[in-house]
Amino acid sequence: MARIVVDVMPKAEILDPQGKAIVGALDRLGFAGVADVRQGKRFELEVDGDISDEQLEKIAADVLTNTVIEDFTITRVNA
Amino acid sequence: MARIVVDVMPKAEILDPQGKAIVGALDRLGFAGVADVRQGKRFELEVDGDISDEQLEKIAADVLTNTVIEDFTITRVNA
């Protein structure tokens, strides 16, 4: 049983209105010093047996990420 | 300039219908072997100067997380 984490974040050149809204909210609530926030998604996958890096890349790119506007990072937590 | 990552995941005892939908989609698309998926959120914060652990905990718990149904993890990427 392997656990894999796929982090999906908006590409650097893409505006992130959710993140901007959080910066504004933090400021209004009195939390100073946070210059920027970007919001993305985190997927935790439990995989039976082995799964190849190619298969993982395909799952991340085809199903979990909109590759037009998002980038993904795959991390094996315990292989 | 410090970068802080806050990962927010549904608590273990909370059903995660988004994750279940992804498991179903992967199965239909022919990606075998993924037993479970849980979907959460990832926040990347850029902070000016220093920020205390207490302040970060407060931001994560009060603003970024619904602590009734979600847990958070704070990671300093470069302090």
Interchain proximity A40–B45, CB inside 8 Å? no
In the structure, what pLDDT confidence band is assigned to residue B9 with cuts at 50, 70 and 90?
A: very high
User: Domain segments of chain A: what residues?
Assistant: 2-77
Predicted local confidence at residue A74, as pLDDT = 97
pLDDT at A1 over 90: no
What digits encode the pLDDT tens for the residues B21-66? Answer: 999 999 999 998 899 999 999 999 999 888 999 999 999 999 999 9
Using a CB-CB distance cutoff of 8 angstroms, which residues of chain A are in contact with residue B58? 31
Count residue pairs from A and B with Cβ separation < 8 A: 96
- CATH match of A2-77 with 3.90.1300.10: no
- Mean per-residue pLDDT for A25-43? 95
Residue A2's nearest CA partner among A46, A33, A58, A36 is A46
User: What ipTM, to 2 d.p.?
Assistant: 0.93
- State if pTM tops 0.95: no
Question: Shortest Cα distance from B69 to chain A (angstroms)?
Answer: 16
d(C-alpha A21, C-alpha B19), whole Å: 26
Q: For B55-71, b where at least 16 C-beta lie within 10 A, e where not — what string? A: ebeebbeebbbeeeebe
Q: Nearest residue of A to residue B51 by CA position?
A: A33
Residue the block writes with tokens 């037009």: A68
